[in-house]
Structure 1
Amino acid sequence: MQELIPINVVIGDRTYRIKIEPQDEEVVRKTLKLINDKVIEFKTQFAGRDMQDYIAMVVLWYATQPATEGAPGLDRTVLDALARMEQQLDKVL
């Protein structure tokens, strides 16, 4: 197991110190950029809210995006496996 590396991340107006696998750093940073860009976008669209409102809107937006758009770290194999599992659940339900 590789040693976790500490990085500082900023979400909205707060800084967090987290530890991640070195190979995950690029994905984490790209995801943070996407999140912070969306916070800025929502701030311009919905003036007068507080930061918690903007972050909640971003979380909702991110969670409802198709996997290829909303989760840059997922590869095609994982997406295919998730689609197969969803089909199996649909059959059972």
Structure 2
Amino acid sequence: MEEKLKIKISIADRVYPLTVEPNLEEGLRTASKKIDTMIKQYEENYAVRDKQDVLAMCALQFASAQENRKIQSTEEYEDALLRLKKINEKIDFVLNKNI
């Protein structure tokens, strides 16, 4: 078992010390960079008075993207399932025709 790492992640000019599994470090660092980039975009494009408002919008944007991926994934699954059912019906038809 690998030893956990103690790292520091910076988000919105604040440093957060974390203890994480080594395989999670890269993802956390990438995520914090994406959050900081998004914060800068909000601050440049909107009149934002409070960092908490910007962080709330970032959280909403990330959560929305995740939910949209789930919805799309579900739709793709349902579409694939429907296609498989149609293929299965055709196979059953051919097999029953040869009996």
TM over 0.5: yes
- State whether residues 12 and 36 of structure 1, in contact with CA within 8 Å, keep that contact through their aligned partners in structure 2: yes
Instruction: Give me the whole-angstrom Cα distance separating, in 2, the residues matched to 1:62 and 1:33.
Output: 13
Bigger fraction of residues in helix: 2
Match of 2:26 in 1: 26
Match of 2:96 in 1: none
Q: Which has the higher contact order (CA 8 A, sep 6+)?
A: 1
Gapped regions of structure 2 (runs ≥ 5)? 79-99
Instruction: Give me the whole-angstrom Cα distance separating, in 2, the residues matched to 1:2 and 1:83.
Output: 35
Amino acid in structure 1 at the alignment position of 2:8: N
Q: Structure 2 length normalisation: TM-score?
A: 0.64
Q: Structure 1 length normalisation: TM-score?
A: 0.67
Larger radius of gyration: 2
Runs of 4+ in 1 over 4 A off after TM superposition: 66-69
Identity %: 31
Q: What value does the CA root-mean-square deviation take over the aligned residues?
A: 2.7
Pair 3,83 (structure 1): closer, same or farther in 2 beyond 3 Å: farther
Number of residue pairs aligned between Structure 1 and Structure 2: 75
- State whether residues 13 and 51 of structure 1, in contact with CA within 8 Å, keep that contact through their aligned partners in structure 2: no
